[in-house]
Chains A and B, each alone.
Chain A
Amino acid sequence: MSAKRPVPVPTPETEPYWAAARQGQLVIQRCGDCGEHCFYPRLVCPACMSDALRWVPCSGRATVYSWTEVRRAPGAFADDVPYVVGLVELEEGPRMLTWIRSERPEAVRIGMGVKVAFEPVSDDITLPVFVVDDA
């Protein structure tokens, strides 16, 4: 399949996230007023509407909230099947969609511990992914 994979185009709002990912760091926003973390990046806190959001590092640890093994994929991903897309819950609270990379995809389970890793997809963009956390 010749379709091009969608690669994120950072905006001023999201650039800190992508810049950190390039450096192998996972950062999200935390509200200076109510203390809640949020993801994806925003101008205002979805919990309390404060605009005092600061970028903070994540522990990189998460648990699998749900997952699916993709067997029939969109054009650009057709050659990658099967692969596991997961919805993981960060230790800090927010969830994110990601790839779960595992030698044994059949062993992926809801509630399993995972930790962040990074995969470059272009010169500018590195995607956070998650691998099984043996710790």
Chain B
Amino acid sequence: MTAPDFRKRAIIAGVAESDIGRTPHLTELQLHAQAAKRALENAGIAKADVDGILSVTSARAVRMPAIQVAEYLGIIPAYTDSTSIGGSAFEAMVQHAAMAIAAGLCRTCLITYGSTQRSSAARSLTGTAAESWLPAAQFDMPYGLPMMAGAYALAAQRHMHLYGTRPEQLAEIAVAARAWARLNPRAWSREPLTVEDVLASPMISTPLRRLDCCLVTDGGGAVVVTSADRAPDLPHAPIHIWGSAEAHTHSSIAQMPDLTRTPAAITGPAAFNSAGITPRDIDVAEIYDSFTITTLMSLEDLGFCVKGEGGPFSEGGRLGPGGAFPINTHGGGLSYTHPGMFGIFLIIEAVRQLRRECGERQVANANLALCHGTGGALSSGATLILGREAR
């Protein structure tokens, strides 16, 4: 006899962004707190009821982010988590929160993120100064590969070599993101964008151009995960966790087992298996777009098209408003916002789509949504499948 699925014991009750874009008047902790306050209000849950805290930050100087955030908010948690796997951490944290709640360790988890990457100009092309004994400090950094663009460029180059993927096809992903962003008043970049514009943008590291790369913004987000038995008392209908999985395969791009096979190839099938559905059942997908190639390979690895077909699959406006396969409906990291890590914003948008709150950019009949985060140098992946109805 198998134990009941832990995912059925928890729901997503609330989501919110902090102020986003350019917020020089706010510190990272304030962004965590602002998003947390708004997400708890959205959930209809009091701070006093929070007994699980899951926080991570892109500022490496904050060595114990969950401790710092919990202190700032006045929370003494029974469950705590600072999973540091890059931008996919938040999808993994929803899984962790559900596990902790199902195990009875806590009842309500608050997941928070905040970054002032734009105002503090924290994104350096060389990457954050590393401890000199780290393998990457000795064997990668001396060669001046731009971080992270260079790592993703190596993957894109190999994908093009193996499968004939073309720059125009990568550009379609940026164009679709922009078309969605034009429907999102909170998006950073809202001017019209064409494939030609993307191809005319400056080359950063071949074959990736500036407009193949995500934005640098400030911002934060928060997600409230609580026990499913609380759902009847809450103002919003609960969002259900159908499936989830996480994986990582390497730290340095030099150690990636196969440059064109991302961790999504592990987490996609595992998440679909746990949900008992197939990629064809997904109505809307929020797929991390740190770079256009990130999304293109994730589409393949998650099973939305076969390996190597991500280029043709992305053509013809399929991914944009009115297209057959809507993704990154807020405008993605490419056009909406990207404060260091983007994973929490994938969840926020998926929940809003499933609640049918998205106005002009609402995908019709959105019942099942997939979120897939990617972290590091294609290092980590975490997939969530969320439903409007209980599984």
Contacts and interface: CB of A to CB of B under 8 A. Distances in A.
Contacts of B155: 66
Contacts of B147: 74
16 contacts: A6-B141, A7-B142, A65-B259, A66-B259, A67-B157, A70-B145, A70-B205, A72-B203, A74-B126, A74-B147, A83-B144, A85-B144, A85-B150, A85-B154, A97-B140, A121-B142
Interface of A: 3, 5-11, 14, 39-40, 65-77, 80, 83, 85, 87, 95-99, 109-111, 121, 125, 127
A97 B145 contact: yes
B7 to A, nearest CB: 33
Interface majority SS (helix, strand, loop, mixed), chain B: mixed
Nearest first, the 3 A-B pairs at minimum CB distance are A77-B144, A74-B126, A68-B153
A68 B157 contact: yes
Contacts of A7: 142
Given A66-B155, A97-B254, A110-B158, A73 B125 contact: yes
Contact of A96 (B141, B157, B203, B254): B254
A36 to B, nearest CB: 14
Interface string B179-206: 0000000000000000000000011111
Interface residues of B, number: 37
Given A9-B133, A10-B138, A97-B254, A68 B154 contact: yes
Contacts of B158: 65-66, 110
A76 B206 contact: no
Nearest to B132: A9
Contacts of B141: 6
A68 B253 contact: no
A128 B164 CA distance: 31
A97 B139 contact: yes
A59 to B, nearest CB: 19
